[in-house]
């Protein structure tokens, strides 16, 4: 796949991931008010979020690799493994309805760490706009805080709310901006 095709695919994947995040937020709120089938819809959107993030992570690796080959590779491995494991655990949950809460939660938190690392790389190598790098960091920290809150006290822990707010604002803003950046480079 040439660079133009990769950027096009990753740019549109970023938009899909943003849309799935917003849809997931709406279905999560609706699930807490109404119940199913909105919980299952939220679970499916979570799978779409992380799977559509994979081409984005790979493209970020391509962008940052010349300036930071080790850091970029570490961020890619952390993010890809976390995204794939989150998708697998989420699929198992949908099929069996047996909770794998800590495994799924931890995977999303580790995914957030890769966003923080890519945001840091973007600040240092200036491959992306400064503001976009910060939105990636905020999104990643949001994912980490959500999971920390879940582990410390469940869905009603203050860190869960703070992280949820940071990730629901930061992640879609970041991937939409990143998608726009990638599509403008083709």
> In whole angstroms, what is the distance from residue 30 CA to residue 36 CA?
9
Instruction: Report the number of distinct structural domains present in the chain.
Output: 1
pLDDT at 36 over 90: no
Question: Which tokens sit at 70?
Answer: 């080790």
pLDDT of residue 155: 80
**Taking the chain, what is the end-to-end CA distance rounded to the nearest angstrom?**
13
Per-residue pLDDT, averaged over 79-98, amounts to 88
What is the structure's pLDDT at 97?
74
CA neighbor of 54 nearest in space, from 30, 24, 88, 29? 88
Q: What tokens does 137 get?
A: 């960091």
Boundaries of domain holding 54: 3-184
Banded pLDDT at 71 (limits 50, 70, 90):
very high
For the entire predicted model, the pTM comes to: 0.90
- pLDDT (tens digit per residue) in 133-164: 999 999 999 999 998 998 898 888 999 999 99
């Amino acid at each position: 796949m040439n660079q133009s095709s990769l950027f096009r695919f990753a740019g549109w994947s970023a938009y899909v991931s943003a849309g799935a995040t917003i849809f997931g937020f709406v279905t999560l709120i609706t699930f807490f008010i109404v119940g199913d089938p909105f919980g299952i819809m939220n679970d499916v959107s979570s799978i779409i979020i992380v799977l559509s993030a994979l081409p984005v992570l790979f493209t970020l690796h391509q962008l940052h690799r010349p300036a930071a080959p080790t850091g970029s590779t570490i961020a890619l491995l952390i993010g890809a493994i976390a995204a794939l494991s989150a998708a697998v655990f989420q699929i198992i949950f949908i099929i069996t309805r047996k909770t794998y809460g800590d495994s799924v939660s931890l995977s999303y938190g580790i995914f957030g760490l890769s966003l923080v690392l890519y945001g840091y790389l973007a600040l240092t190598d200036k491959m992306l706009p400064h503001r976009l790098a910060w939105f990636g960091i905020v999104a990643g920290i949001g994912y980490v805080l959500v999971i920390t809150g879940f582990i410390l006290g469940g869905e009603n822990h203050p860190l869960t709310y703070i992280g949820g707010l940071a990730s629901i604002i930061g992640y879609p803003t970041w991937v939409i901006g990143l998608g726009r950046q990638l599509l403008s480079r083709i």
